[in-house]
Chain A
Amino acid sequence: MDIITEDYSIKYDTETSTIHWQGIMRLNGKEYNPIAELLNEIAALEPSQITLNLQKLEGLNSSGITMLGKFIFKLAKKKTIGLLIQCSKKITWQQKSVKNFQRLMPKLQIEWD
């Protein structure tokens, strides 16, 4: 359950239910669909908690933020899976935009490195 390209990678660690993100993602709208599908497949496994580790995701455009936002909103409605986002203060987009995800899921936990 991994997606690996020249510019970015998304790897799922089943033991810790952690999705590790790396690289720069500035895809064009629909190009995010395979990633959204991967996220849905992971949610379908019904872990009690999912961790999104974004600490190596250096760049993400607003379409990518929307893709993550949609997933978080879906989990918030589902109510059975907790969510932890691990971020880095050194990465500007995370510093600026990650906090907004709590508007979609008030119980979302955010951890900074």
Chain B
Amino acid sequence: MKQIFGEYAEETVKSKEFLKIGFTPNSTQLQQRWRNNGLSADFLADYLTTFFPIDDNEPSTLQRATELKGAVSYIANELLENSMKFHNPNDDYPITLEVKLYNEHLVLCVTNSISPANLLKFQSIIHDLEHIEPQELYVRQIKQASKNDGNSSGLGLLTIIDDYEAKIGWKFETIQTQKPTEQTLVTTMVQLSI
């Protein structure tokens, strides 16, 4: 079974520059693996700057590289944090994060397993993102977080779409695992113009 939401584009032209990292979140302590999200995101962002050389005589190249690095670091970290929140803790399917570079855009993809309970929750977040106007959703999420006394509001995906003007899409697919049950995987894809 496969389901697509939002702007999810299967790769038609192969990227010539890409980097993929994978890890299994159950193997380390929560605090340590949470810290790892930031380190992985910064690593990807730093790695990409190689492809955007800075010309000292052209200040716009520095500005562009700095902005792109900041954007990739923020987005990759949000995608990883989300994958941690929604992955299925009962399996040891690795979370993967991949960045692919193309001529005019770059793609960030995170894949993780998801439990049936989290699947419904995640699809309801996607539904809101697709059907509610961003400004309205932003205020609603903050008000909701104020009521619940929490700091998690689902704002991560909304900021990626609205603040960073990125395209976002999701692929849900069911695969057969070694266990008798099936496993659902979700890939979140972010496309960013460069």
Among B15-23, B116-124, B149-157, B175-183, which stretch is in contact with chain A?
Answer: B149-157
Provide the bound-state CA to CA distance between A24 and B70, in Å: 12
Q: Please, which residue of chain A has its CB at the minimum distance from the CB of B67? A: A92
Contacts of A107 in B (CB 8 A): none
Given contacts A32-B151, A70-B142, A70-B145, contact A65 B34 (CB under 8 A): no
User: In the complex, are the beta carbons of A92 and B145 less than 8 A apart?
Assistant: no
Of the candidates B31, B135, B163, B164, which one forms a contact with A103 in the assembled complex, judged by CB atoms under 8 Å apart? B135
The segment from A11-19, A55-63, A78-86 that touches chain B is: A55-63
CB proximity to B under 8 Å, residues A96-111: 96-97, 100, 103-104
CB of B163 within 8 A of CB of A24, answer no
Partner of A28, one of B30, B67, B73: B30
- In the assembled complex, the Cα of A76 lies from the Cα of B22 at a distance in Å of 43
Residues of B within 8 A of A62 (CB): 78, 81, 153, 155-156, 159
Is the CB–CB distance between A61 and B81 below 8 Å? yes
Residue A73 at the B interface, CB < 8 A? Answer: yes
With A62-B155, A65-B155, A66-B152 known as contacts, the answer to whether A92 contacts B138 (CB < 8 A) is no
| Given A24-B38, A36-B151, A61-B77, also A69-B142 (CB < 8 A) | yes
Q: How far is the CA of A42 from the CA of B47 in the complex (A)?
A: 41
- CB distance A66 to B66 under 8 Å? no
Find residues 154-170 in chain B having any chain A CB closer than 8 Å to their own CB: 155-156, 159, 162-164
Q: B86: which A residues are within 8 A, CB to CB?
A: none
Q: How far is the CA of A100 from the CA of B162 in the complex (A)?
A: 10
B138 pairs with A61, CB closer than 8 A: no
| Contact A91:B70 (CB < 8 A) given known A32-B151, A65-B159, A70-B151 | yes
**Residues 112-152 of chain B, each 1 if its beta carbon lies under 8 Å from chain A, else 0:** 00000000000000000000000100110111011000111
Which residues on A are within 8 Å of B, measured CB to CB?
A: 24, 26-30, 32-33, 36, 59, 61-67, 69-70, 73-74, 90-93, 95-97, 100, 103-104
Q: How long is the Cα–Cα vector from A73 to B151 in the complex, in angstroms?
A: 13
Report the Cα distance A64→B74, complex, angstroms: 12
- 21 A–B contacts from the bound complex (CB under 8 Å): A28-B34, A28-B81, A29-B151, A30-B150, A59-B73, A59-B74, A62-B81, A62-B155, A63-B151, A63-B155, A65-B159, A66-B151, A66-B153, A91-B70, A93-B70, A95-B70, A96-B163, A96-B164, A97-B159, A97-B163, A100-B138
| Nearest chain A CB to B74 CB, angstrom units | 6
Question: In the complex where A59-B38, A93-B74 touch, is A67 in contact with B163 (Cβ < 8 A)?
Answer: no
Q: A residues within 8 A CB of B162? A: 100
Give bound CA distance, A29 to B37, whole Å. Answer: 14
